[in-house]
Structure 1
Amino acid sequence: MGVLDTVSELFGSGERHYRFRCDDCGTEFAQRAATVEDLSCPECGADTVRPAEAT
C-alpha cells in the first residue's frame, strides 16, 4: 500500500474508495470504481485485477 493510500484511509478523502489486488504482481491499490470492469494494475498494467480481501 502506498503512502497516499494510507493517508486517504486515515484521514478520508470524502469519496468512497474500493480496494483491489492484481493477481499477476500482487499489488494492492484503491480506486473509486466499485467493479473491476476496465481496471488494470497501476504497477504492471495487467488486467487480472480482483477485489482485495477485507482485513
Structure 2
Amino acid sequence: MELDSAPSPASSQKVTFARGGGAYPLWVRFGEGTIEKVDGVMVLDVGDAVRGVREAGS
C-alpha cells in the first residue's frame, strides 16, 4: 500500500514494482492533485470520496 498527499513519480514506481512482484498494490491519495492510472493497481482517492459526501449533504 502506498499513501500519498500529492502525486509522486516515485510512488508510481513503487506500486508498479510491487505489482510486478505479484502483489495487489493499493495506492491511497488524500491530498491535492490526481494519481495517474497504473494497470493492475487499485487507486483509492479519499479526497474524491470526501468531496462526494460534502456535496451530498449540501
In which range does the TM-score fall when normalised by the shorter chain? under 0.3
Larger gyration radius, structure 1 or structure 2? 2
